[in-house]
Amino acid sequence: MHPPPTARPRSRDLGVTVGELPTGPHNALTDVPGIRVGHTTLIRPPRVHSGVTAIVPDAVGPDRPLPAGVFAGNGYGKLIGATQIAELGALETPVLLTSTLSAFRAADALVGWILERPEGADARSLNPVVGECNDGLLSDIRSRPVREEHVRTALDTASDGPVAEGCVGGGTGLTALGFKAGIGTSSRRLPLAGREITLGVLVQANFGGTLRVRGRTVTPADVGLPAEGPDPQAGSCMVVAATDAPLDARQLTRLARRCVYALARVGAAYGHGSGDYGLAFGTNPLGTPAGPAVVPDDVLDPLFTAALDAVEESVLNSLLTATTTTGPHGDTRHPLPARPLLALLE
Query: Catalytic residues, which ones?
Result: 236, 274, 276
**What Å distances lie between residue 121 and 22, 85, 156, 289, CA to CA?**
41, 22, 18, 23
CB 48 within 8 Å of CB 42: yes
User: Exposed, middle or buried: residue 190 (CB in 10 Å: 0-12, 13-18, 19+)?
Assistant: middle
Exposed/middle/buried for 321, CB within 10 Å: 0-12, 13-18, 19+? buried
Spatial neighbors of 180 by CB under 8 A, at least 6 apart, are 167, 174, 319, 322, 323, 324, 325, 333, 334, 335
Question: Which amino acid would we find at residue 107?
Answer: A
Helices vs. strands in the chain: H and E counts, helices first: 6, 16
Residue 294: half-sphere exposure toward Cβ, Cα within 13 Å: 15
The CA distance from 143 to 75, in Å, is: 24
State which H helix or E strand residue 251 sits in: helix 249-261
